[in-house]
A and B are shown apart, each in its own frame.
Chain A
Amino acid sequence: MSASEEITMQRTSRLDQCFAALKANNRPALVSYLTAGDPNAETSKRLLQGLPAAGVDIIELGMPFSDPMADGPAIQKAALRALENGQTQAKTLEMVRSFREQNSTTPIVLMGYYNPIYRYGVERFLADAASAGVDGLIVVDLPPEHDEELCQPAAQHGIDFIRLATPTTDAKRLPKVLSNTSGFIYYVSVAGVTGVSAPTPERLESAVGQLREHTQLPIAVGFGIRTAGQAATIGRFSDAVVVGSALVDCIEHASTPDEVVERVHSLASELAESVRGCRKGS
């Protein structure tokens, strides 16, 4: 085995190892979403570094885009704040690189839209992302019909491509959505944009159950999950709970960088505690 193959194997397994450990402990993962560079590069770096200690298991880091079509107001504003403060794709990758110098276990998934990656250059982006320590990608506007654009090249670099399944994805289409998906599958809990309406747990549980009949991959649920209570309810039947807009709102409502960091990390801790305990005694 060559050195590069060894690195690739190590890299592809970070998400797998994480989910295996969680399964052994019979608890779901807490996945946090923050936009890279929000509210500015320095504070964003502090936020990122502190997430594992706050109890976050998997980090989703948003690559800000000027036209985030799938996002609600909270994450739209986060992207604008980051861009106004000079965030770029290169700076986002640099944040991951610097995080990896201190943490080699917490998986990082970059989430965003295709254009900034396309403009950066797909091959160059994947090479830089792999060497920075990125584990997976979620790219909202790349359906399986365009797998040759980024999904297949990402696999060559040992980067997982995590796809979204949605309430509109029917049984006929699901195999197509699942093909080439790795790491985990992200179930979008409501038809809509991020952070706006809350899903009903009953319908969600049945949707996740149906999804399980088609895949062995861990299933994360996100969009519209804002409170520790919601996270615990959904964590009982899913493998991971994603919280984004509620964390991002903490940034908007804080007035100093210290307050931003304090608010985000304390909400993350609260969510983590709730998610960790959600299957106990049941």
Chain B
Amino acid sequence: MTQLQPDANGLFGHFGGRFVAETLMPLILELQGEYDAAKEDNAFQRDLAYFQGDYVGRPSPLYFAERLTEHFGGAKIYLKREELNHTGAHKINNCIGQVLLAKRMGKKRIIAETGAGMHGVATATVAARFGLPCVIYMGTTDIERQQPNVFRMKLLGAEVIPVTSGTGTLKDAMNEALRDWVTNVDDTFYIIGTVAGPHPYPAMVRDFQAVIGHETRAQLHEKEGRLPDSLVACIGGGSNAMGLFHPFLNDASVKMIGVEAGGKGVESGLHAASLNGGAPGVLHGNRTYLLQNEDGQIIDAHSISAGLDYPGIGPEHAWLHEQGRVEYVSATDDEALEAFQICCRQEGIIPALESAHALAEVAKRAPDLPRDHLMVVNLSGRGDKDMMSVAHHLGERFQ
């Protein structure tokens, strides 16, 4: 049996924990208490189900990708269509849950970090829906390459604060959000966007995302009458992957593959593959695998996809990696771009560059698998936000 819950100190094996400044400890303990109570509260669960349905648009379809299946000529491929959610990615599953918790706790202000901007957009969306002022921290490098999402957040009423410290990417945005939280301890709720950060965030975000796996299980059972043989998802911090994987962890026959961003190749040093190219360390409240140098200084991640551009990974993934329960591989920028185009042309679906990393692994794996092998791929987001960077990489110029 795989350990499904962290221990009292928030540890999965020796990963996770609560490595935060004393100022934040009481807040984190309070959050944990409130979340534990909310889990048992029928009214909270009813509200959550209502918003997941009528606002987010769940359940998302489990779609048989007939043309992709033919294209690769092996495994039968299903796509879990998280890109059809409101705001265009899986991120909102978690944001709806956390904003309901914020309301329950009487918090008056929402903050979040964002990399590609999808979590920022989802957070700004739920903050607008619940009438809460919202501040989004975003690195200046990411603001530059994700202009449309910056504008979306502003339209939704959020204040986007550019983060110039460090290297101006997701990790620095997270540092700055933590600095805000430590300064505004009385009224602020921090919506972390992935299965990382201090306990209870990794388990809480996972629980809100596990709706992906629970639906997949029921939908595949209806279509095929059985469990999937393999699950494939991309990993930055790892929330869409954990959401899909977690409900299947104790089904030994289900193979799981997490795909990290290989950037220019793990051997090049320019990548975001924390498990395949990092080492254990402590950052942002948890112990996990990190990209770092010999002296414990954090190294910048590199990926074509801003959403995977993070030098760490959720602690539960680090633990599942060491347990060998999930296989973690990587796909390069070029492999992801190739898979991105295949998906566009074969299925008429423009995937997010993040999700294209999962599709790149499908391209490597599916052709050699038998036709009765059921493979579910998490199509975690849509690619509209990536038009400019894909065009740039394909040599297309706009007037």
Interface, chain A (partner B; CB < 8 A)? 65-70, 72-73, 76, 80, 83, 88-89, 113-120, 140-143, 145-146, 163-170, 173, 177, 188, 191-193, 196-197
CB < 8 Å neighbour of A69 from B178, B279, B281, B295? B178
CB < 8 Å neighbour of A83 from B26, B171, B179, B297? B297
Closest to A163 in B: B22
CB < 8 Å neighbour of B21 from A73, A119, A120, A140? A140
Q: Mark B9-49, 1 if CB is under 8 A from A, else 0.
A: 10000000111111111110000000000000000000000
Taking CB atoms, residues of chain B closer than 8 Å to A192 are 23, 179, 182-183
Closest to A148 in B: B9
**Interchain CB contact under 8 A, B21 and A164:** yes
Closest to B27 in A: A168
The verdict on A145 contacting B281 (CB below 8 Å), with A70-B182, A119-B294, A192-B183 known, is no
**Interchain CB contact under 8 A, A67 and B171:** yes
Return B23 CB to nearest CB of chain A, in Å.
Answer: 4
B218 at the interface (CB under 8 A from A): no
Q: Mark B277-288, 1 if CB is under 8 A from A, else 0.
A: 001111111010
Closest to B179 in A: A193
Taking CB atoms, residues of chain A closer than 8 Å to B165 are 73, 76
**Interchain CB contact under 8 A, A67 and B298:** yes
**Interchain CB contact under 8 A, A191 and B292:** no
Return B299 CB to nearest CB of chain A, in Å.
Answer: 8
**Interchain CB contact under 8 A, B22 and A119:** no
**Interchain CB contact under 8 A, B25 and A173:** yes
**Interchain CB contact under 8 A, A141 and B21:** yes
How many of chain B's residues have a CB under 8 angstroms from any CB in A? 38
B175 at the interface (CB under 8 A from A): yes
For the residues of A in contact with B, the DSSP-based class is loop
**A113 vs B287: C-alpha distance when bound (angstroms):** 13
Number of residue pairs A-B, CB distance < 8 angstroms: 119
B391 at the interface (CB under 8 A from A): no
B344 at the interface (CB under 8 A from A): no
The verdict on A143 contacting B182 (CB below 8 Å), with A76-B165, A114-B282, A120-B296 known, is no
Given A66-B297, A115-B292, A167-B185, 13 more A-B residue pairs with CB atoms under 8 Å apart are A65-B296, A66-B166, A67-B298, A70-B179, A73-B165, A89-B295, A119-B279, A119-B281, A143-B21, A143-B22, A146-B18, A146-B19, A197-B183
**Interchain CB contact under 8 A, B25 and A164:** no
Taking CB atoms, residues of chain B closer than 8 Å to A170 are 26
**Interchain CB contact under 8 A, A119 and B18:** no
**A196 vs B184: C-alpha distance when bound (angstroms):** 13
Closest to A164 in B: B22
**Interchain CB contact under 8 A, A119 and B182:** no
**A68 vs B17: C-alpha distance when bound (angstroms):** 18
- The 6 tightest CB contacts between A and B, nearest first, are A119-B296, A116-B296, A192-B183, A166-B23, A66-B297, A141-B19
Closest to B292 in A: A119
**Interchain CB contact under 8 A, B19 and A142:** yes
**A120 vs B194: C-alpha distance when bound (angstroms):** 28
The verdict on A115 contacting B185 (CB below 8 Å), with A69-B21, A73-B165, A166-B23 known, is no
Return A53 CB to nearest CB of chain B, in Å.
Answer: 31
**Interchain CB contact under 8 A, A117 and B23:** no
> Which B263-289 residues sit within 8 Å CB-CB of chain A?
279-285, 287
**A92 vs B292: C-alpha distance when bound (angstroms):** 19
Taking CB atoms, residues of chain B closer than 8 Å to A83 are 297
Return B280 CB to nearest CB of chain A, in Å.
Answer: 8
Q: Mark B172-195, 1 if CB is under 8 A from A, else 0.
A: 100100110011110000000000
Q: Mark B285-322, 1 if CB is under 8 A from A, else 0.
A: 10100101011111000000000000000000000000
Q: Which of B165, B166, B297 has the most CB of A within 10 A?
A: B297
**A119 vs B26: C-alpha distance when bound (angstroms):** 28
CB < 8 Å neighbour of B22 from A73, A76, A169? A169
**Interchain CB contact under 8 A, B183 and A193:** yes
Taking CB atoms, residues of chain A closer than 8 Å to B18 are 143, 145-146
**Interchain CB contact under 8 A, B26 and A173:** yes
